[in-house]
């Protein structure tokens, strides 16, 4: 009983640590002719975004910063990978525009981001010389807990744990049987034959 409980506890801990979290987004848009779809991503300086855009027909894709500067641009594309690093704090806007077609276009935007948070910043002034020191930390965005992944991992680990416990019990019984047979020269179980006395 104690060993089974230990296997269950170890399985739970392993399941918690081995279930991966996904820090990405995958969004599908249906864009009418001469319309656009936008995705707004709040970023801090030095935060980065990496992803790709795919579409059933040619589209215009660009990213602009909070101040309106174009960070990335791709014209007449059906697939384009992109990445950029934020230079200012604020909302970066990803634009997917259907300007080249007269029918609807289905576009898929996939991206992930790493946020950088400034922990502290110091400025020291000496004789017209400015020295700046900044410490940054990458922060993964929070996402909802993956219950399906957790339960799947739990089921796998409990199956493996049950199998291992069963194998160990079988091996123990085999060892006990071999010891008995070696000691007494016959199996431990009684013979099914009964001698009849008259």
Kindly report, residue by residue over 53-97, the tens digit of the pLDDT.
Answer: 999 999 999 999 999 999 999 888 899 999 898 989 999 999 999
Most confident of 7-11, 94-98, 114-118: 94-98
pLDDT, greater one: 193 or 91: 91
Within 86-145, strands assigned E span 90-98, 105-126, 129-139
Q: Which of 58, 10, 1, 56 is nearest to 160 (CA)?
A: 10
Q: What is the pTM of this model?
A: 0.51
Q: Tell me, which fold does domain 23-142 have in CATH?
A: Jelly Rolls (2.60.120)
pLDDT for the residue 127: 52
pLDDT for the residue 45: 85
Percent of the chain having pLDDT more than 70?
65
143 and 22 Cβ atoms separated by less than 8 Å: yes
For the four alpha carbons of 151, 152, 157 and 159, in that order, the dihedral sign comes to positive
Domain with CATH 2.60.120.380 in the chain: 23-142
pLDDT, greater one: 152 or 15: 152
């Amino acid at each position: 009983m104690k060993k089974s409980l230990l296997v269950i506890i170890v399985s739970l801990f392993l399941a918690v640590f081995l279930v991966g979290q996904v820090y990405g987004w995958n969004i599908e848009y249906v864009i009418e002719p001469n319309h656009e779809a936008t995705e707004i991503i709040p970023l801090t300086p030095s935060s980065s975004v990496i992803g790709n855009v795919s579409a059933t027909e040619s589209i215009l894709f660009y990213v602009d910063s909070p101040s309106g500067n174009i960070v990335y641009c791709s014209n007449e594309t059906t697939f384009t990978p992109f990445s950029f690093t934020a230079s200012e704090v604020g909302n970066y806007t990803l634009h997917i525009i259907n300007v080249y077609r007269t029918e609807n276009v289905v576009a898929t935007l996939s991206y992930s981001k790493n946020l950088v948070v400034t922990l502290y910043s110091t400025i020291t002034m000496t004789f017209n010389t400015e020295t700046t020191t900044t410490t940054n930390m990458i922060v993964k965005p929070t996402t909802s807990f993956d219950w399906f992944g957790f339960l799947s991992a739990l089921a796998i680990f409990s199956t493996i744990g049950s199998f291992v416990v069963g194998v160990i019990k079988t091996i123990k019984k085999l060892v006990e049987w071999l010891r008995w047979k070696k000691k007494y020269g016959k199996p431990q179980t009684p013979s099914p034959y009964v001698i009849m006395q008259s």
